[in-house]
Amino acid sequence: MALIKIWTLIMYVLRRNLKKVIQHKTVKYHLLPLSPISIQRLRLVKRKTLVLDLDETLIHSHHDGVVRQTVRPGTPPDFVLRVTIDHHPIRFFVHKRPHVDFFLECVSQWYDLVVFTASMEIYGAAVADNLDKNRGVLCRRYFRQHCTLDCGSYTKDLSMVNDDLSSVFILDNSPGAYRYNPDNAIPIKSWFADPSDTALLNLLPMLDALRFVSDVRSILSRNLHLHSLW
């Protein structure tokens, strides 16, 4: 009986350790060289624009004096922003969604990237600067003043970014943000603290393929049923 208990304890510890290893294992998406047919296809279609939301899509943050239950106390932020809003200095503790750096490295090769956030510019610009890391891939940016306040939420009109709606789409965790352009949106589950999250990695195969279509709406309009899941 004692041996059974010891064996059970050993297996329990092994399973816990294995789970930790799996959760923190670095996952990569292999960027393979394009075939001659794929290269020719890309020449026939326009290079497209991918619009990226920030909060709860690429990052999660909290500021001084606010304790978010979604972030375990003591979890170190990836970076800290010090901004002044209405003459008050505020520190924002920013946590990056798992694999966001690799995600941006990949999609910046396929698309022109644009940041479109409902946050204030002084905060959103600082977050974008930290994600960009001087690579120059997040140069175009839109903030709260570029949104439309509609039904109590900030809505992002993609025609402001690109008047050719066949060549622009948005990745955002809030369906209300793209209510004007639901056929041009990819929904993503809101992220707050889960270190095992792989949502950005999971999107890479589709994003790799979407650049070859002539009209993104021909594909994304088929996913409208997903927009209410989050």
Annotated catalytic residues are: 53, 55
Contacting residues for 70 by C-beta, under 8 A, at least 6 apart:
60, 192, 193
Q: 141, exposed or middle or buried, with CB in 10 Å at 0-12, 13-18, 19+?
A: buried
Query: In angstroms, rounded to a whole number, what is the distance separating the alpha carbons of residues 3 and 6?
Result: 5
Query: In angstroms, rounded to a whole number, what is the distance separating the alpha carbons of residues 73 and 53?
Result: 26
| CA dihedral sign of residues 107, 113, 118, 119 | positive
